[in-house]
Amino acid sequence: MSLEKQITELAELILKHKNSIVFTGAGISTESGIPDYRSPGSGAWEKYDSSIVSIPGFLKDPTQYYNYALEMYPIRANAKPNAAHLFLSNLEKAGLINGVITQNVDGLHLAAGNNNVHELHGSIRQSSCLECGQVFPMDDIINRVQKGENPPICEIFDGKPCNGLIKPTAVFFGEGLPTRPWTSSVDKCKEASLMIVIGSSLQVSPANSLPDVALKTGSDLAIIDLLDTPFDSRATIKIQDRAVHVSELLSKYLGL
């Protein structure tokens, strides 16, 4: 099927259902300058060992994570929502989707104007002490690391010395997902009659079980991703193209 026909088919599905839920992964943010994790030749895990964002790896040597964070910080700090993020914001404003579930920790869906966002893997915009739970803006923590405090330590909580290790609130490998966004995401998938996956290879558990939740309740499934996914054979439509390109074509078709 040609790309033009695929765009038409997906646009008609969106108009038909009007209660779609969108599920996004790293691939939607690559054209905002944020590298994804698994793309051949450019994925972050080809340059770094993914253990640096695992709880065992972080606790063993948090300096490795903060070295990585220092390199990534200017990229993340300067990233702006791209046409795909803005398309989803416009879909929500038009009443055509019921929200966005995202594996991303970059905050770009919120920056684009989506209000109903479920951040499954938390956010890199904040950090917290693993001992006392005190929360800090990640900008402040990165500033401390830039000045040579690696790893950053929580000094005082409630007037008493703490000395706890500070970690981003983003979910690391080996951690459970935050309860509230996970529960609300499962509910959204059960309610939706169309689930649109954008920029996720659907490899990370348990988030990759959400399409199955939607399918089991009779939902259609659309996937937009450059890579193959385990759900391609079960999808109503699979568009193997860039998220931004597809979003621009859909936006034009839908008049958004």
Let me know how long the chain is: 256
SS3 content of the chain, % helix, strand, coil (to 5): 45, 20, 35
Examine residue 151 and say whether the peptide bond preceding it is cis (omega within 30 degrees of 0). yes
Residue whose token pair is 């348990």: 206
Confirm whether 121 is a catalytic residue.
Answer: yes
Q: Which of 85, 109, 121, 245 is catalytic?
A: 121
Interacting residues of 23 by C-beta distance below 8 A, sequence separation 6+: 100, 101, 102, 103, 195, 196, 197, 198, 200, 207, 210, 211
**C-alpha angle 207-104-256 in degrees, rounded to nearest 5:** 105
**Phi, psi for residue 117 in degrees, rounded to 5:** -120, 130
* Backbone φ, ψ for residue 112 (5° rounding): -75, -15
Q: How many CA atoms lie within 13 A of 198 on its CB side?
A: 28
Question: Catalytic residues, which ones?
Answer: 121
